[in-house]
Chain A
């Protein structure tokens, strides 16, 4: 475990001293701000219209968490899928290219310690990215009021949404790590994991207009379908299991890929 922590610490140091993690954080901050202000504008417009039409029923149904925060989190899901490969691409590919893999493989560490250390480090950067997104509901809570004068932001829904984003990110990092363990090129690693993740994200797009088991299969495989329950404030076991099985499978396959180096 000590070796895994040493590896995690080194990875975090490298992440924070090279531009890539900062670029990812900047992109995340920029787009979440963009989606947030756009969502807020749309919400304001809608509530003005509701007031104009003297429709108190509609006004009461307007929910700022549902109308602003959940769509923001949904967009951040896509963004996570897109940026995660750039955080995970270096993990193993760079070590192989720079011949530093030889140091790791000749040190008295087991393959799973290497894998775990690297995964923990990417999760730390992911946590930072999601924390950035979490700032927006916090910001909103200072200004938004509920319909009956209560709190405007439903923290429970925000919490499940953030949990969903974290799980989605954990899955994306696991997929990216496996791909990185299989190649020596960081570019190949980033592109291949990006394609894999996009396919998983949009799995239902392949079965538009199809009914029956095929449709059900793609929707069960789709990373975005499994996020939707989290965004509306529910934690379903099947969604948690979906993301965590990708994490478990990813860690296992990466461990095998590292162990496989000893057999070539």
Chain B
């Protein structure tokens, strides 16, 4: 469903993404893992057609993101790092606007808005202006926007940021329920999230792909002989620190993770 080949993005002298190559099959849920500044958001922005790549190609559902941006955009639901919401609109007005942008059939718009509002658990806030909602609700409005129109591919950039623990669990359940019918790429800093929702993990560090495998594969490769269950997520921290250790930034990010997790 998603094919990335040799993807490179350079900003003047900074290389944000460096020769990234990977493939995501239809119906897979892939976790995008890496320290801050590893190139996760940049890769997602290239996949959604927001940024051009300096070199390499990216294809979604067989369409090149640069040559056929409209075909790609039609198939993608995207939640950027900062939820792209307008503070002066209510979630209902906002979702209606997004439905117009995505050209959903006019007849089913109201029902579709109700559907995504329920999935993102927006009940009770639909007619208050977004500016007065909490960070968690804004994030959920952004998520509802991504789900609108039931797109084949979902690209979620840190979907659980700003949510409380219960909401995080709800979003995880939601993402899990999308597997199979939808192809999902989600980035996160929270390791348990990956263990609980994703079938495969893509680890990037400083723009390069460090490893890409299923959870079982990662365990066998990096912790040979260790018996771990997926409920026990400490193993993932070990693997993660093995893969991205080195730069102090990564160590700091890891410290954050330990705190967030503990």
**Across the two chains, which residue of chain A brings its CB closest to B106?**
A2
CB-contact partner of B103 in A13, A98, A108, A262, under 8 A: A108
* B88 CB–A CB distance under 8 Å: yes
Distance of A5 Cα from B99 Cα, bound (Å): 12
Contact A106 B103, beta carbon cutoff 8 Å: no
Contact B103 A99, beta carbon cutoff 8 Å: no
* A10 CB–B CB distance under 8 Å: yes
Contact A107 B73, beta carbon cutoff 8 Å: yes
Distance of A103 Cα from B78 Cα, bound (Å): 8
Chain B nearest CB: distance from A90 CB in Å? 10
- Report the contact-size class of chain B (Cβ under 8 Å from the partner): 20 to 34
- Given A2-B103, A6-B101, A13:B49 Cβ within 8 A: no
Distance of A6 Cα from B80 Cα, bound (Å): 21
Cβ contacts under 8 Å, B48 to chain A: 106
Distance of A31 Cα from B52 Cα, bound (Å): 48
- Given A106-B48, A107-B73, A264-B52, A10:B86 Cβ within 8 A: yes
* B133 CB–A CB distance under 8 Å: no
Distance of A188 Cα from B101 Cα, bound (Å): 28
Chain B nearest CB: distance from A197 CB in Å? 26
CB-contact partner of A5 in B49, B74, B100, under 8 A: B100
Distance of A102 Cα from B155 Cα, bound (Å): 13
* A263 CB–B CB distance under 8 Å: yes
Q: Mark A97-115, 1 if CB is under 8 A from B, else 0.
A: 0111111111111100000
* A9 CB–B CB distance under 8 Å: yes
Cβ contacts under 8 Å, B96 to chain A: 6
Cβ contacts under 8 Å, A5 to chain B: 100
* A241 CB–B CB distance under 8 Å: no
Contact A17 B101, beta carbon cutoff 8 Å: no
* B24 CB–A CB distance under 8 Å: no
Cβ contacts under 8 Å, B93 to chain A: 10, 13
**Across the two chains, which residue of chain B brings its CB closest to A6?**
B100
Contact A10 B102, beta carbon cutoff 8 Å: no
Cβ contacts under 8 Å, A106 to chain B: 48-50, 73, 76, 78, 80
Contact A14 B101, beta carbon cutoff 8 Å: no
B-binding residues in A (CB < 8 A): 2-3, 5-7, 9-10, 13-14, 17-18, 98-110, 262-264
